[in-house]
Chain A
Amino acid sequence: MESGTLRFKSNGFPLDAIDMGILEALQTDARQTYMSIGKQLGIAHSTVYDRIKRMEQYGIIKKYTAIIDAEKVGKGKIMAVMTVFTDPKESERVAEKLCEAPQVLEVYSSLSEELQIIAKVVAESQESLHDFIANSVAPLHGVLRIRTSMVTKKFKEIPLSILNDPEG
């Protein structure tokens, strides 16, 4: 690892190879100690502490959270990908409304031939998924039609990470 190499800037905050190394370590396991991260990177734990505090202050590290297996806690037995075709004038508002629903985990917009909002949805059952879409999504102003695909098998799911930057 090249120490001191500028990798990218975030709101004017330059991140060097040490910062990137710390971020990678935290994304692997955010509960590991400063000592452990320091050992991996060959730096003092006090440096790790200082860098982490600085990145927290600058909002580069937003928060520390847990990745929960929804199936094991009995939530989200059904997962579906919902594509909502919308009137372009209303798409922003539709997306905002979807974001408010606890059943909706992720919301994206996509422009192909038509404007689409793509959302990942979880529900207790097919029936509750249908009720949610029929009662809370279809009636939203600007919704033209909806296509929903039920997820039958999960092959990969990881949070967005600097570790899986496709550019390497």
Chain B
Amino acid sequence: MTAEQTKILRTVPREKAFYFFTSIGNYTGVSAASLKEFVEKMNEVNMKSLEFHLYRGDLEKWLEEVLEDTQLAEEIGKLRKINLAGEGLRNQLHAAVSRRLKRLTGQSGSLAI
């Protein structure tokens, strides 16, 4: 595993984790401190939360500034521009993040949605 892969896959401290909100100031109680946890939590979190964060650019920001994964941040940015919503958005987001996770970890199997 390269240094870059290790960096992206690391678990970040609590204060740098991603906290899922459904609207301004409304925290769901779900957080993710690594890319692996992020892809898992994406399935359990309220749909409204994914929409809220995607269209504010929070997901890209966290991926780029905290996990330092520019490539995935760009991919998420593209999803934002095609105005997805509902389960379609969740599926697309999950697919993009789990694809990236598999590439980074070198796994060949698929991650369940």
Contact = CB atoms under 8 A, between A and B. Distances in A.
A25 to B, nearest CB: 40
A138 B31 contact: yes
Nearest to A121: B25
Contacts, number: 43
Given A130-B21, A138-B19, A138-B31, A148 B26 contact: yes
B11 to A, nearest CB: 14
A94 to B, nearest CB: 13
Top 4 A-B residue pairs of the complex, sorted by shortest distance between their CB atoms: A148-B25, A145-B29, A146-B27, A138-B19
B14 A139 contact: yes
A145 to B, nearest CB: 4
Interface residues of A, number: 20
B19 A139 contact: yes
Interface residues of B, number: 12
Nearest to B14: A139
A143 B27 contact: yes
A10 to B, nearest CB: 38
A126 B31 CA distance: 21
Interface string A113-148: 000000000000010011001110111010111111
B71 interface: no
B25 A145 contact: no
